[in-house]
Amino acid sequence: MALWESPASPDDINERLANSMAGNLGIIFTEVGDDYLKATMPLHHLTKQHMGFMHGGANVVLAETVANIGSILCCEDGQTVVGLDINANHIRPGNSAVTAIAKPIHIGRSTMVWEVKIYDDANKLTCVSRFTGAVIPKPQ
């Protein structure tokens, strides 16, 4: 059974993010499972650091984007989620496009916590992140 209060397809999410940082970096949602979200991000001039590897900050943007959207999909009507905290451990340098898989650790009334694992094209773990979000009333 899916945990989403307000389900959305990858196309719906991508359309929502088209004119945002996520859209500009090329983050594309590819899958909405019963209890996870999956998105990809290319390695290109906007996401790589000076040595050609995936920039750690780009990984954090990807992780926060996927976890935040997952959190929002778990909200009841009239609520949304804003980030409180995010951390990331960079396991190995990414030298290809990456895929993030976000799964909830805690879905609460006032906070949500998500784990995000990021993999390269060889399916090697490159980054692990944890996102904490605050559930707030949706702005009018």
Q: Which residues are catalytic?
A: 64
Instruction: Give the pLDDT confidence score for residue 89 in this predicted structure.
Output: 98
Instruction: Give the pLDDT confidence score for residue 1 in this predicted structure.
Output: 63
Calpha distance 95→49 (Å, rounded): 10
- The answer to whether residue 34 sits within a structural domain is yes
Above 70 in pLDDT, residue 46? yes
Domain limits for position 86 = 10-137
Q: How sure is the predictor about 140, in pLDDT bands with cuts at 50, 70 and 90?
A: confident
Mean pLDDT of the region 5-32 = 96
DSSP label of 139: P
Percentage of the chain beyond pLDDT 90 is 96
Q: Is 133 within 8 Å of 86 (Cβ atoms)?
A: no
SS3 category, 4: coil
Instruction: Give the pLDDT confidence score for residue 2 in this predicted structure.
Output: 79
Global pTM value: 0.96
Counting the structural domains of the chain, the total is: 1
Percentage of the chain beyond pLDDT 70 is 99
Mean pLDDT of the region 121-136 = 98
> The domain that contains 33 carries what CATH number?
3.10.129.10
Q: Measured on CA atoms in the order 10, 15, 19, 23, is the torsion positive or negative?
A: positive
Calpha distance 56→122 (Å, rounded): 18
Q: Which tokens is 139 given?
A: 């702005």
- The answer to whether residue 4 sits within a structural domain is no
